[in-house]
Chains A and B, each alone.
Chain A
């Protein structure tokens, strides 16, 4: 069964302290790895799609990378407004997207 796991479950950073979030997946025939950001009480907001190993995408302080087994979301010099839950997801035939449990990021001023 296709699975998506994320680590750590929660991460607290000081403003400006860079770090990375991990998303590991076991799917047969990856057809994209998606990153979303979710603020409390809101729906997930689409960030990136990565399709092949070695691919990288950047948006402001975020950079997503992809290998054959996992994806990383690197956060450089985060600000308090980057605090959110970050979800990764992979498409699965017949089941639409399988989402990971998310990483709750808190950036302290």
Chain B
């Protein structure tokens, strides 16, 4: 058990809808990262927050947004969903803000857009 909690485990929704994915980091970790994993793209970095502030941004679509709250949990919002957004979405956390700290991943949210 990595200590990172993600909810929900599964999400099925229709195109055009909006969903929110939630992540609670390991106790003591200040950084939260979001990754997308699909069969043809592998693990793709979306965004990182450190202690409530955005620290790094990857190829995150404008339809996607995230935030980290004062209690350090994070939410990833996906809107105007398209079929191609179907994927596993992972949250990870680490102690520091440096981008060479080992990441500890949750078990992901599997999003299916129909």
Could you list which residues of chain A lie within 8 angstroms of chain B, going by C-beta atoms?
A: 31-32, 34, 36, 41-46, 49, 87, 89, 91-102
- Is the pair A96, B102 in contact by a Cβ cutoff of 8 Å? no
A36 and B92 alpha carbons, distance in the complex (Å): 13
CB-CB contacts below 8 Å: B33-71 with A: 33, 42-43, 45, 48, 56-58
Query: In the assembled complex, which residues on chain B have CB atoms less than 8 Å from the CB atom of A99?
Result: 42-43
- Is the pair B107, A43 in contact by a Cβ cutoff of 8 Å? yes
B25 at the interface (CB under 8 A from A): no
- Is the pair B99, A92 in contact by a Cβ cutoff of 8 Å? yes
Among A43, A93, A95, A102, contact of B106 (Cβ-Cβ < 8 Å): A43
Known: A43-B90, A96-B33, A96-B45. A91 touches B99 (CB 8 A): yes
A38 and B106 alpha carbons, distance in the complex (Å): 11
A to B CB contacts below 8 Å, 17 in the list? A34-B102, A34-B103, A43-B90, A43-B92, A43-B106, A44-B105, A45-B105, A93-B99, A94-B56, A94-B57, A95-B56, A96-B56, A96-B58, A97-B45, A100-B42, A101-B42, A102-B42
Minimum distance in angstroms from B24 CB to a CB of chain A: 13
- Is the pair B107, A42 in contact by a Cβ cutoff of 8 Å? yes
Closest partner residue, chain A, to B104 (CB atom) = A46
- Is the pair A45, B56 in contact by a Cβ cutoff of 8 Å? no
4 nearest A-B pairs in the assembled complex, by CB-CB distance: A43-B105, A99-B43, A91-B100, A32-B100
A98 and B43 alpha carbons, distance in the complex (Å): 8
Known: A43-B2, A45-B105, A95-B56. A31 touches B100 (CB 8 A): yes
Minimum distance in angstroms from B100 CB to a CB of chain A: 4
